[in-house]
Amino acid sequence: MDRVALIDAAGGSEWRSIRAIRPHKKFFLVWFEGVQSVEDADQLIGKSVAVSRDQLPQLDEGELYHIDLIGCRVELESTEEIGRIEEILTTGSNDVLVVRKGDTEVLVPLIDDVVISVDLEEKRVVVDPIEGLLDPQ
């Protein structure tokens, strides 16, 4: 991975070359070309990092990227739609799908006991909710 896009909150982006990268605890430390000082680095705070899809590593069977789930329909086995995945929260124990339909939001744990199937071609996720998951808050 040589270059990444840095995207600000307004949606503006710029491409930057990576000089070096290394893991540090749960994160990665990245050194970008053209960033020579703390002040230069401060200008990057709050920006998201994006790569082109062809830069992503190949996945093993049964693996997927979170980005592929965004926008997927979430439904019960009866095909009743719960909503669409709008974001994914990464927690310490398991990831959580944020599913919205109108003003209703449901948090669905991304675990085998709940998620029955994922069909990325059909943009469809079938769930078997645990008791109380779909109850109004």
Per-residue pLDDT at 134: 83
Beta-sheet pairing, 81-90 with 115-119: unpaired
Output the CATH code of domain 66-127: 2.30.30.240
Question: What is the model's pLDDT at position 126?
Answer: 97
How far CA 50 is from CA of 63, 67, 83, 113, 131, in Å, comes to 20, 11, 26, 31, 37
pLDDT score for 137? 60
| 110 closest CA partner among 100, 99, 95, 124 | 95
What are the pLDDT tens digits along the chain (137 aa)?
688 999 998 989 999 999 999 999 888 889 999 999 999 999 999 999 998 888 888 999 888 999 999 999 999 999 999 999 999 999 888 999 999 999 999 999 999 999 999 999 999 999 999 888 887 66
Question: Can you give the residue ranges of every domain in the chain?
Answer: 3-55, 66-127
Residue 26: its pLDDT value, please? 80
